[in-house]
Amino acid sequence: MKAFVVDRYQKQAPLRLADLPTPQPREDEVLVEVHAAGVNLLDAKLRSGEFKLILPYRLPLILGHDVAGVVVKVGTRVRQFQPGDEVYARVDDLRIGTFAEFVAVKEASLALKPKGLTMEEAASIPLVGLTAWQALVEKAHLKKGQKVFIQAGSGGVGSFAIQLAKHLGATVAATTGTTNVELVKGLGADVVIDYKTQDFEDVLRDHDLVLNSQDSKTLDKSLRVLQRGGQLISISGPPDPEFARESGAPAFLRWAVRLLSAGVRRKARRLGVRYGFLFMKASGSQLREITELIEAGAIRPVMDRVFPFALTNEALAYVEAGRAKGKVVVSVK
């Protein structure tokens, strides 16, 4: 099969198109013929080696975390899927590889593709959808009437999180650039802040939750827009001790992580708020709940561009440039 691989960790280095053996599914896995693959900033960060201590991949490595496609083979213990099923998933860490013609996916991480979506639309959903779900529903327990501030409202995670938060009954504030203000309003944001002309800290007060995806300066300011007892969940770091424990990191790495997040956790305590880091996990059961929302019309995919498989490097560079509105997808088949 054809696949795009990383041979060594390096910033902005092109992926190599290679001919590789088709993977064989383990007993709890499904072999999926890839029709489309989502492209995420996480792929660029992995290529650069940013997570090599936490995620010890063996090189060469096929990149790609999101997949939509068709089941072609199932493992001996698989019961929920059969050949011919149209499915989608965020594949598991240490089992990634959707920038390829085939990928093996754990049964527990897979879900049937939402009806009415194209393969490209379906491939845009898993990573950002699960990130938003795990932040707002699983970690924050966002409730009706609460106020949430979502950064980068026109991005992949932001555009999904706004819709999910509105479905949950929250009042939503979001930041975006001038050209995307109407897009973000159309997704349901109640307050839209143009970061090019406004400082969100001058506008927002007493929020229950912040979903942080930006730099450390933005994180510090975001802590101050929370009311006492509020919570900031960051998907851009720094990782916290809870994440280090859950990831099974060695003692030296847990110690390093504790130091990395010590400053922000100290600031949060002084303000009477909580800080938490989220590194999302694959989950077929949560994807099924997301599927119900999509099929009910509560959430729609927000797409920027679809690149052909041959232009996977160009797609990754486009995402890394940080100007995408919603998701970027590679069409493989």
CATH number of domain containing 12: 3.90.180.10
As a whole number, mean pLDDT of residues 25-33 equals 98
- Confidence category of residue 233, pLDDT binned at 50, 70, 90: very high
- Confidence category of residue 51, pLDDT binned at 50, 70, 90: confident
**97 and 157 co-located in one domain:** no
State residue 322's pLDDT score. Answer: 86
pLDDT at 20 over 90: yes
Structural domain that includes position 95: 2-125+301-331
Percent of the chain beyond pLDDT 70?
A: 100
**70 and 162 co-located in one domain:** no
As a whole number, mean pLDDT of residues 233-255 equals 81
Average pLDDT, the chain: 95
State residue 250's pLDDT score. Answer: 75
- Note whether 109 and 92 are within 8 A (CB): yes
| pLDDT tens-digit readout, 53-112 | 778 899 999 999 999 999 999 999 999 999 999 999 999 999 999 999 999 999 999 999
**Domain-embedded: residue 173:** yes
**Domain-embedded: residue 69:** yes
CA distance 42 to 235: 11
**271 and 145 co-located in one domain:** yes
State residue 206's pLDDT score. Answer: 97
| Stronger pLDDT, 89 or 238, i.e. the higher one | 89
State residue 54's pLDDT score. Answer: 77
- CB atoms inside a 10 Å sphere around CB 19: 7
Return the exposure string of 71-88: e unless at least 16 CB atoms fall within 10 Å of the residue's CB, then b. Answer: bebbbeebeebeeebbbb
**12 and 149 co-located in one domain:** no
**Domain-embedded: residue 12:** yes
Range among 40-54, 251-265, 297-311 with highest mean pLDDT value: 297-311
pLDDT at 52 over 90: no
| pLDDT tens-digit readout, 143-188 | 999 999 999 999 999 999 999 999 999 999 999 999 999 999 999 9
Tally of structural domains, the chain: 2
Half-sphere exposure of residue 70: CA atoms within 13 angstroms, side-chain side: 7
**Domain-embedded: residue 198:** yes
CA distance 51 to 139: 22
State residue 12's pLDDT score. Answer: 85
State residue 212's pLDDT score. Answer: 97
| pLDDT tens-digit readout, 198-227 | 999 999 999 999 999 999 899 999 999 999
Range among 9-13, 108-112, 247-251, 252-256 with highest mean pLDDT value: 108-112
The alpha carbon dihedral of 307, 309, 313, 319 has a sign of positive
As a whole number, mean pLDDT of residues 258-262 equals 86
| pLDDT tens-digit readout, 298-308 | 999 999 999 99
**265 and 152 co-located in one domain:** yes
**Domain-embedded: residue 270:** yes
User: What's the pTM?
Assistant: 0.96
What CATH code is carried by the domain that includes residue 160?
3.40.50.720
Strands (E), the chain: 2-6, 16-19, 29-39, 61-62, 66-74, 86-90, 102-106, 110-112, 147-150, 171-176, 191-194, 207-212, 226-234, 274-277, 303-308, 327-331
**Domain-embedded: residue 284:** no
